[in-house]
């Protein structure tokens, strides 16, 4: 009954998967009796590493870390807007993956799962920051506010006139990061997952715990807002 | 992709450092990994099977040892089968949506869980509203026991709550560390599954067959169980 129910639900969910990249179900990989789903090569590689890791192979962890750490770090940097905090959160994320490895289902794609754990860890970090937003020094004085350029952008992220005008310089990236930080949290998540990391709508919904429709809408709104923000800065 | 304002999407990638090398694993992480032992991983259906078996114990005992509704023999067999199948399907589908990941996924999908459990609650509510059947002379009214409609509903909601509590507790244990996000949606489906199991039991034991009672006692019981599940799982299962 449970199996029949699952098959039915998998079919029911088909419309939400239409946004997902086409996966050709061919050449399934078998590993110790467990069928790895027909999936993209990187997902298959991650699934194989995760399976070996769950069997106690520590070298497989390094393989998994090498495969995913850069993009998880980028995701966390986008959410937190702070490289140092993102690096700490990355370590915490992989520690949580280690502790929760018994929850992995052999043969499944571990990438959205690890993104989800990173997402949760980042949300906890953001909440922690909100709770301790006002930090008073030992001498009971508030730290100085960062200097601002006349355009309203933080002085350290304002583009250098000597920078290339095609938007490929570090200052343009900093401006984009500052604009990203101005987006509402849920829009920022949807935009980063779908536009920057190329996750499918279904994956992004799973990672953030939202519905595919909500992800589409948030990504679109974020994209429009971000374009307006960046255009305004360019004009200024 | 480049917009009319000259802004390129890849700027976002550079801004978040997609190509930047990650730091090496920290000493704490390496220590944890080096000492790791093989673990027994989950299976897709394991948790759902265990929770359904645990959840079915109490209704099975109630059906075997407790009194059945006195109008059961007088009700159309097709209606009894349809009602039981509907509540049973609401239980199974909600439970699967809450605990079984889609093929190729590790986590249950919160959006699917909320969609399925909402649909299950809507279907049983419509069935209760438009297809409740009674047997004149055999079916009871709350007044026959000296109860008000409210009393009878509270009684049945209590029965649903007891059955749903078992499913919820077993489900919460199964969902430990498994719902980093979307806990309220997954919990809603788990609670709805428990409530539907309670509703299934009431098809056989509840002597009151009025539409008002079935909607306000049985269906509302399921809805309350779903709300309780949403609150509990969100608060505890992360």
| Beta carbons of B111 and A174 less than 8 Å apart | no
Task: Give yes or no for residue A89 having a pLDDT over 60.
Answer: yes
DSSP readout, chain B?
-B-TTS-BTHHHHHHHTTTSPPPPPPHHHHHHHHT----PPB-TTHHHHHHHHHHHHHHHHHHHHSPPPTTGGGS-HHHHHHHHHHHHHHHHHHHHHHHPPPTT-SS--HHHHHHHHHHHHHHHHHHHHHH----TTTSB-GGGGT--HHHHHHHHHHHHHHHHHHHHHHHHHHTTTT-SS-HHHHHHHHHHHHHHHHHHHHHHH--B--HHHIIIIIIHHHHHHHHHHHHHHHHH--
Given the structure tokens 């699952």, which residue do they identify?
Answer: A6
| Beta carbons of B18 and A197 less than 8 Å apart | yes
Least Cα distance to A176 among A159, A155, A197 occurs for A159
Q: Which two tokens stand for residue A101?
A: 């490895």
A114-130 per-position pLDDT tens digit? 999 999 999 998 888 88
A1-18 per-position pLDDT tens digit? 555 555 555 544 433 333
CA distance B185 to B109: 9
Helix axes B110-131 and A201-208, enclosed angle (nearest 10): 80
pLDDT average, residue stretch A132-160:
54
Find the range with the poorest average confidence among A128-132, A206-210, B165-169: A128-132
Question: pLDDT: is A1 or B57 the higher one?
Answer: B57
Average pLDDT, chain A: 76
pLDDT of residue A175: 77
**Nearest residue of A to residue B41, measured between CA atoms:** A102
pLDDT of residue B66: 87
Task: Give yes or no for residue B224 having a pLDDT over 50.
Answer: yes
Identify whether the C-beta of residue B108 lies closer than 8 Å to the C-beta of residue B97. yes
Distance between first and last Cα of chain A? 63
Q: A5 by DSSP, 3-state: which? A: helix
Task: Give yes or no for residue A82 having a pLDDT over 80.
Answer: yes
Kindly report the CA angle at B122 between B118 and B123, in degrees rounded to 5? Answer: 120
pTM over 0.95: no
| Beta carbons of B97 and A71 less than 8 Å apart | no
Average pLDDT, chain B: 91
Q: Which of A2, A170, A206 sits opposite B105 (nearest CB)?
A: A206
Q: A35 by DSSP, 3-state: which? A: strand
pLDDT of residue A236: 55
Q: Which of B36, B45, B181 sits opposite A120 (nearest CB)?
A: B181
Question: pLDDT: is A179 or A154 the higher one?
Answer: A179
Task: Give yes or no for residue A24 having a pLDDT over 60.
Answer: no
Confidence of residue A223 (pLDDT cuts 50, 70, 90): confident
Question: Cα dist. A2→A236, B12, B116, B190 in Å?
Answer: 60, 43, 14, 14
pLDDT of residue A6: 52
Which residues are A30's β-sheet partners?
A: A35
Q: Which two tokens stand for residue A33?
A: 């009796």
CA distance B168 to A94: 29
Q: Which of B20, B107, B112 sits opposite A113 (nearest CB)?
A: B107
Task: Give yes or no for residue B61 having a pLDDT over 70.
Answer: yes
pLDDT of residue A152: 52
- Contacts by residues B138-145 (CB-CB < 8 Å, ≥ 24 positions apart): B138/B70, B138/B71, B138/B74, B139/B71, B139/B74, B139/B207, B139/B208, B139/B209, B139/B210, B140/B70, B140/B71, B140/B207, B140/B208, B140/B209, B141/B208, B141/B210, B142/B208, B142/B210, B142/B213
pLDDT average, residue stretch A160-173:
58
CA distance A195 to B3: 14
pLDDT of residue A17: 39
What ipTM was reported for this prediction?
0.83
pLDDT of residue B3: 43
B88-117 per-position pLDDT tens digit? 999 999 999 999 999 999 999 999 999 999
HSE-CB for A3 with a 13 A CA cutoff: 1
**Nearest residue of B to residue A114, measured between CA atoms:** B106
Confidence of residue A135 (pLDDT cuts 50, 70, 90): low
B9-56 per-position pLDDT tens digit? 677 777 776 677 889 999 999 999 988 889 999 999 999 999 999 999
Q: Which two tokens stand for residue B63?
A: 């059906």
Given the structure tokens 């570090």, which residue do they identify?
Answer: A170
**Nearest residue of A to residue B111, measured between CA atoms:** A211
CB proximity A154 to B under 8 Å:
no
CB proximity A115 to B under 8 Å:
no
Find the range with the poorest average confidence among A61-70, A215-224, B73-82, B166-175: A215-224
pLDDT of residue A26: 36
Least Cα distance to A220 among A175, A176, A190 occurs for A190
pLDDT average, residue stretch A21-48:
59
CB proximity A103 to B under 8 Å:
yes
Give B-chain residues touching A231 at CB under 8 angstroms. Answer: 5, 7
Question: pLDDT: is A156 or A115 the higher one?
Answer: A115
B195-211 per-position pLDDT tens digit? 999 999 999 999 999 99
| Beta carbons of A174 and B15 less than 8 Å apart | yes
CA distance A188 to A226: 10
CB proximity A162 to B under 8 Å:
no
Task: Give yes or no for residue A33 having a pLDDT over 50.
Answer: no
CA distance B113 to B100: 10
Task: Give yes or no for residue B232 having a pLDDT over 70.
Answer: yes
| Beta carbons of B93 and A83 less than 8 Å apart | no
Of the residues A31, A206, A215, A235, the best mutation for testing chain B's interface (the one with the most B CB atoms within 10 Å of its CB) is: A206
| Beta carbons of B37 and A191 less than 8 Å apart | no
CB contact set of B185 (below 8 Å; sequence gap of 6+)? A209, B110, B111, B113, B114, B230
B109-159 per-position pLDDT tens digit? 999 999 999 999 999 999 999 999 999 888 999 999 999 999 999 999 999
């Amino acid at each position: 009954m449970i199996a029949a129910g699952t098959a039915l639900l998998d079919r029911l969910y088909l419309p939400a998967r239409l946004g997902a990249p086409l996966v050709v179900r061919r050449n399934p990989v078998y590993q110790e009796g467990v069928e790895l789903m027909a999936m993209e090569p990187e997902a298959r590689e991650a699934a194989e590493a995760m399976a070996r890791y769950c069997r106690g192979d520590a070298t497989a962890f390094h393989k998994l870390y090498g495969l995913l750490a850069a993009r998880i770090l980028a995701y966390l940097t986008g959410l937190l807007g702070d490289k140092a905090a993102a690096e700490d959160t990355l370590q915490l994320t992989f520690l949580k993956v280690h502790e929760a490895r018994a929850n992995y289902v052999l043969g499944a794609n571990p990438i959205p799962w690890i993104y989800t754990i990173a997402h949760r860890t980042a949300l906890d970090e953001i909440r922690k920051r909100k709770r301790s937003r006002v930090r008073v020094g030992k001498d009971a004085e508030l730290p100085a506010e960062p200097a601002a350029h006349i355009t309203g952008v933080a002085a350290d992220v304002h583009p250098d006139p000597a920078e290339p005008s095609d938007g490929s310089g570090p200052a343009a990236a900093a401006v984009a990061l500052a604009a990203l930080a101005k987006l509402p949290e849920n829009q920022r998540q949807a935009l980063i997952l779908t536009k920057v990391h190329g996750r499918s709508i279904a994956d992004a919904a799973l990672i953030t715990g939202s519905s595919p429709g909500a992800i589409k809408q948030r990504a679109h709104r974020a994209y429009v807002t971000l374009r307006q923000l960046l255009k305004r800065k360019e004009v200024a | 992709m480049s917009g009319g304002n000259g802004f390129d999407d890849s700027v976002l990638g550079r801004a978040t450092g997609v190509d930047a090398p990650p730091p090496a694993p920290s000493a704490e992480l390496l220590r944890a990994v080096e000492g790791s032992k093989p673990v027994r991983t989950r299976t897709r259906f394991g948790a759902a099977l265990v929770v359904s078996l645990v959840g079915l114990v109490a209704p099975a005992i109630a059906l075997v040892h407790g009194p059945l509704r006195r109008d059961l023999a007088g009700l159309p067999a097709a209606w009894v089968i349809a009602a039981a199948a509907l509540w049973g399907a609401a239980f199974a589908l909600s439970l699967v949506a809450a605990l079984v990941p889609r093929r190729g996924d590790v986590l249950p999908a919160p959006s699917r869980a909320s969609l399925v459990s909402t649909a299950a609650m809507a279907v049983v509510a419509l069935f209760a509203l438009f297809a409740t059947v009674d047997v004149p002379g055999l079916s009871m009214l709350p007044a026959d026991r000296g109860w008000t409609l409210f009393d009878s509903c509270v009684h049945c909601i209590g029965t649903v709550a007891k059955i749903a509590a078992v499913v919820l507790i077993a489900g919460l244990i199964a969902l430990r560390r498994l719902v980093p996000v979307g806990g309220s949606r997954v919990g809603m489906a788990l609670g709805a599954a428990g409530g539907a199991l309670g509703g299934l039991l009431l098809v056989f034991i509840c002597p009151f067959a009025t539409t008002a009672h079935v909607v306000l006692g049985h269906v509302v019981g399921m809805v309350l169980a779903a709300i309780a599940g949403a609150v509990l799982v969100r608060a505890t299962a992360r």
